[in-house]
Amino acid sequence: MSNFVKGTTLATNEWNLLRYPVVAEPEQKQAGKTVIFKVTGTEAATPETIAAFALPAGKIIVPLKVWLARRDELAPRLAAGELGVWFESFELIEDLVERVEDINVFPVIAWDFVRFADGRGFSSAALLRQRYGYRNELRAIGDVLRDQLFFMRRCGFDAYELRADRSVEEALTGFKDFSEPYQASVHIDQPVWRRHAR
């Protein structure tokens, strides 16, 4: 069964998400404790990994670093509407925005939630929608769970690849957790006191 949700309903996923090969990473410690989140400036992959990254036919979503390093090679696929990019949680939206004239040239942009507790994707989604005017599909991937969906939608996500071990039917109920959001958001641009006459 599909674990892909578009809008607020189960949908067919037409895109192939391409990930880096899994490698064992050295444990990082700070003040004697293991660091679980990568920080901005961390290298996503080695130049050798990026150069050897396989690009199958069809609609693909590639890591940001692959697109940055192989832009000329990928340009025809982008022009054909067959290429999207995805961000790791420690990468900056500006690294993509500064290299294209119009961010909307990408039919899909995805954000990888490596861990449920890492909220950087929420801020980045709002930036893409509000500051940079991104209008196409904004997809949440990785550790995407039911409890996040309502808030992801408010920040600008409109597609979700749920974690494979979770029930999609149960997750869809997450969109109905709150009947009337109080604050404005990307999804509803006015606070409740402006939406309702007194």
- pLDDT of res. 110: 98
Could you tell me the two tokens for 161? Answer: 């690849």
User: 86 - beta bridge partners?
Assistant: 63, 110
Any idea where the domains of the chain sit in the sequence?
Answer: 4-195
- pLDDT of res. 171: 76
Could you tell me the two tokens for 196? Answer: 């309702």
- Distant-in-sequence, close-in-space partners of 80: CB < 8 Å, separation ≥ 6: none
Per-residue pLDDT of the chain (198 residues; tens, 9 = 90+): 579 999 988 999 999 999 998 766 666 676 777 666 676 667 778 889 999 999 999 999 999 999 999 999 999 999 999 999 999 999 999 999 999 999 999 999 999 998 877 888 999 999 999 999 999 999 999 999 888 888 888 889 999 999 888 878 887 787 676 666 555 456 656 555 455 666
pTM: 0.85
- What is d(CA 21, CA 31) in angstroms, rounded to the nearest whole number? 30
Residues across the chain: 198
Residue 54 one-letter amino acid: A
- pLDDT of res. 44: 75
- Distant-in-sequence, close-in-space partners of 30: CB < 8 Å, separation ≥ 6: none
Could you tell me the two tokens for 192? Answer: 């409740």
Could you tell me the two tokens for 40? Answer: 């901005």
Protein fold of 4-195: TIM Barrel (3.20.20)
Do the Cβ atoms of 60 and 84 come closer than 8 Å? Answer: yes
